Structure 1
Amino acid sequence: MRITTRLARFTWPAVGVVLLLVGLSPLAGHGREAQHLWQERAAGAAPIATVSAPNWIEIARAVKPAVVNVSVRGAAKAARGDGDELFREFGADRAPRRMLRGLGSGFVINADGYVLTNNHVVDGASEIKVKFADGRELAGKVIGRDPKTDLALLKVEAKGLPVIPLGDSARLEVGEPVMAIGNPFGLEQTVTTGIVSATGRTIGAGPYDDFVQTDASINPGNSGGPLVNVRGEVVGVNTAIASGTGGSVGIGFAIPAHLVKPIVTQLAESGHVVRGWLGVSIQPLTPDLAKTFGVGDTIGALVSSVADGSPAQRSGLKQGDVITRYDGRPLARWSDLPREVAETPVGREVPLEVLREGKRLTLSVKVAKLEEQGDKVASAEPAATRLGIAGRSLTPALAQELGVDTPRGVLVQQVEDGGRAQTAGITAGDVILEVDRKPVADVADLQQALKRHPAGTPLLVLVHREGQSLYLTVAA
């Protein structure tokens, strides 16, 4: 009775407050719903269907027998990205020349004993052991390696092995559930789940970056293990993580299966990968650059340099062209071009669609084979410019030291903090080659070019940096 009484005591005042608030509402008595600044349901959108959770138990049961532990003995070499505190391969910070064991993971792709893993897992190994889920441990032999994509194909002497099929990673959707399997910190057959966080990630690992990002927990030791979709198909090979500590923070990267397939085919056939070559340096087309070049959007790859004697030069491709289509396919992202060219058979003629000074052109290029293979500054009186830099005229001797093809230009020696040049991305050591599409021979040329430039408009600058040419726009 005491509880009932207390509830009754508080009920009536509460009702009174509600009635009072309703009575004071500015919309009370107007016979219409309150209008909000926000939207509470998608206009005209059908309700999102509810899907059942994946049966991870059955998926794990099906694929785990094909996941292996790759144990290595030998002197470990510094991994690609060694010293980079953000992006690191698993095992990258093990001590160099240390005898290692339990370094990574892998999975069987063919019942006759072919195992896929990461190149950095087996790089420098003198002995490789492949341990299966049933406890068997077999000697592994490297059939082929590709450092550019960090893939390695191993072979063990066995038949009838369980395999995991390679799926179609090109159809992956952000938000799609995935499972990572491997041997983090030597803990064999560890399964974690998550979703696809992003696709097409570029993390600076190489020219063919196209990673699948996932929040499935992956750690050192997961290298080379599979990232599996809900159909039990491999959609990626776990390779790298973004971490300040070396452990998982929910940002992992996997090589997509659609990139893996052509690489594995070549590794199985010849032990190495042959890639196509155009002979151009490219960069993304930013909104500022697109405006400067008179291009309507930022789709395509901006050509920042063309190598002498290259297929690109012979085809008529020029510095400043924007490649929009390659072999009939549009370039949705500028980074698609290196992969497209690399996968083109050597000797094949392909059409290139380019934009040049607002005009659309079609060129034909014969793809060639890609051959696998601290700046010094002499003392001189610096010349200040209105860009916010201190620079000096390039000499033939200095050009040779810096690897610049022409002995003309301005070497940037200092950049003013917060100045126009620094904001545009110009750094000390850059060589300014052109301003507003016109060559710059020396400091005097640069100063004259700056005086001629129309006030209030962005300045287009071509610089040479670390063996490559790069367009930058300097704000007015």
Structure 2
Amino acid sequence: MTSINARSDSPRIARSISLAVALFAGASAALAPASVCAQTAPQPTAADDLQSARALSRAFQRVAKQVEPAVVHITAIRRVPEMESNGFFSRPTGRTINQPAGFGSGVLVDSSGIILTNNHVVEVGDSHKAKLTDGREFDAVVVGRDPLTDLAVVRIKNPPPNEVFPTAMMGDSDSVEVGDWVIAIGSPFGFANTVTTGIVSAKSRSGVALPGASRDMYQDFIQTDAAINPGNSGGPLLDLEGRVVGINSAIATRAGGSEGIGFAIPAQIARGVMESILKSGRVVRGWVGVEFEELTSARMKQIGLTSEGGVLVSRVMENTPAAEAGIKEGDIVTRYNGRPMSRFSTLRAAIGVTPPGTKSTFEILRDGKIKSVNVLIADWSANEAQSLGGIYSDRFGGIVRTLDPEIRRMLGRGFGGIQGVIVQKLDPAGPASSDFDEGDVIVAIGEQPVRTAEEFRAILEKADLSQGVRMSVIRNRMRGAIDFPAK
């Protein structure tokens, strides 16, 4: 596939370059003495075009050889009931069997066996396999996943002693420009080590309708016309230096295959999510307490903004990091930690992957002047819990609130004398997400009654979860029990 792209696109690029050189030479001649003007610029030959095409082809080959060994094929496996048939009917045997539930790609980013991939590649499996280009296949364990960015971190389980896995280097997605050549490597339709090429078609794409995606999903995609097909998900998008500038995630298609519109998660986001998962087992998101809006082109022209643009501060919440730092409604954020910010989606993602406790610099435009404001990034989950009147439990993976009079009134008749906590919000990839629903009321953990949110968190912190605990739950006014965590 690479050679086809090189043959079809490279001569065109080479001719464009030659034309630019010729135009520059012509402009210089116009300013020179008459004797110089009489000289004509040398015309590019077919041999020149072929030489340029071969140079580009060699660049593609170099990246493919360099990075292919670090790209893995991931299989998600699901345990399903074994069925037996007597020729007419099927019935469960009481045993389970393993069946492939999905396929995708991933890229090794650490020689110890750390793999970066998509959440949707691994979320469908109870267990996982990672196959290397040398044919070796390993069991793999999900370290953590983040549905809000569609990213996951996987680790090769029980690698051979002293094994040093090949890796790909993470690059700088901010340095990528529209029109740059990029290379995608993955396993589309199960065909391992498939290399395709294209260009960056656009940056900071948002509003992409993805099946099953949360409306809160962080979208700040790199758009590319490099062929991305089912199975490419989780594989790297690379620059001509072989550095990972994105993680391939989705395609826009009517027929189910590549139609020249693919989307990759920028490396800047992927790096932040990966570092948070490796440190905490989950993504700890940054938060400043501000609501933003996109700036219209008319508004940008009115205030004299450059083409870099900015993002409008539409609301600053009280007693938040942004308010304490002096950010005001109507400010326009032009840079965040030195990075230009022209889209709301880019700024939201950048703040979200900044570790809480970090002091970040916002460059804002106010009254026609640029001002730098330092803001201490807070923990999104803790502040979200506070705004909901609850507390966040890491072990549970969500926000719970004590059944106070306000909540009892909301729940209606029958809850007047009940003590417990209500589940207000669940992490999409948290331990409780598979079996609990928002709105569930938890009244006991094991044999211990739960009276307050603080008590719920304290009991769960001390509980031995290796064998799981049974929680007494009220859902839709019916009592039941849920084993936690799910087996």
TM-score, structure 2 as length reference? 0.56
SS of the counterpart of 1:121? helix
| Other-structure match for 1:246 | 256
| Other-structure match for 1:387 | none
How far residue 219 of structure 1 moved from its aligned partner, in angstroms, is: 0.7
Instruction: Please tell me the residue identity of whatever aligns with 1:295.
Output: I
Residue identity over aligned pairs, in percent, reads: 44
- CA separation of 1:302 and 1:264: change in aligned 2, threshold 3 A: same
Q: Please give the alpha-carbon distance, in whole angstroms, between the structure 2 residues aligned to 1:181 and 1:327.
A: 31
Q: Does 1:62 align with 2:66?
A: yes
| Other-structure match for 1:34 | none
| Other-structure match for 1:341 | 351
| Other-structure match for 2:206 | 202
Cα-Cα RMSD: 3.4
Q: Does 1:317 align with 2:327?
A: yes
Q: Please give the alpha-carbon distance, in whole angstroms, between the structure 1 residues aligned to 2:243 and 2:75.
A: 24
Contact 2:204 2:343 in 1 (8 A): no
Higher helix share: 2
How big is each residue's C-alpha offset from its partner over 1:140-198, in whole Å with a ceiling of 9 and x where there is no partner? 10112222221111111222222222233333243333322211122222222222223
Q: Does 1:257 align with 2:267?
A: yes
TM-score, structure 1 as length reference? 0.58
- CA separation of 1:127 and 1:353: change in aligned 2, threshold 3 A: closer
- CA separation of 1:207 and 1:356: change in aligned 2, threshold 3 A: farther
Q: Does 1:163 align with 2:206?
A: no
Instruction: Please tell me the residue identity of whatever aligns with 1:118.
Output: N
In the TM superposition, 1:14-413 aligns within 5 A as: 41=23, 44=27, 51=52, 52-55=55-58, 56-74=60-78, 100-156=100-156, 157-158=158-159, 159-204=163-208, 208-290=218-300, 295-297=303-305, 299-327=309-337, 330-356=340-366, 363-371=373-381
How far residue 103 of structure 1 moved from its aligned partner, in angstroms, is: 1.8
- CA separation of 1:143 and 1:185: change in aligned 2, threshold 3 A: same
Structure 1: runs of 5 or more not aligned = 1-39, 77-97, 374-400, 402-476
Structure 2: runs of 5 or more not aligned = 1-21, 30-40, 81-97, 211-215, 385-409, 411-487
How far residue 287 of structure 1 moved from its aligned partner, in angstroms, is: 3.0
- CA separation of 1:60 and 1:361: change in aligned 2, threshold 3 A: closer
How big is each residue's C-alpha offset from its partner over 1:414-465, in whole Å with a ceiling of 9 and x where there is no partner? xxxxxxxxxxxxxxxxxxxxxxxxxxxxxxxxxxxxxxxxxxxxxxxxxxxx
SS of the counterpart of 1:371? helix
SS of the counterpart of 2:27? coil
SS of the counterpart of 2:134? coil
How big is each residue's C-alpha offset from its partner over 1:210-249, in whole Å with a ceiling of 9 and x where there is no partner? 3222211111111001223333332221111111222110
Contact 2:246 2:264 in 1 (8 A): yes
How big is each residue's C-alpha offset from its partner over 1:384-430, in whole Å with a ceiling of 9 and x where there is no partner? xxxxxxxxxxxxxxxxx9xxxxxxxxxxxxxxxxxxxxxxxxxxxxx
Contact 1:69 1:102 in 2 (8 A): no
How far residue 105 of structure 1 moved from its aligned partner, in angstroms, is: 0.9
Instruction: Please tell me the residue identity of whatever aligns with 2:303.
Output: V
Q: Please give the alpha-carbon distance, in whole angstroms, between the structure 2 residues aligned to 1:227 and 1:360.
A: 35
Contact 2:361 2:373 in 1 (8 A): yes
- CA separation of 1:110 and 1:355: change in aligned 2, threshold 3 A: closer
Instruction: Please tell me the residue identity of whatever aligns with 2:109.
Output: I
| Other-structure match for 1:32 | none
How big is each residue's C-alpha offset from its partner over 1:41-97, in whole Å with a ceiling of 9 and x where there is no partner? 467389999742232344433332222111112389xxxxxxxxxxxxxxxxxxxxx
Q: Please give the alpha-carbon distance, in whole angstroms, between the structure 1 residues aligned to 2:205 and 2:325.
A: 31
How far residue 307 of structure 1 moved from its aligned partner, in angstroms, is: 2.7
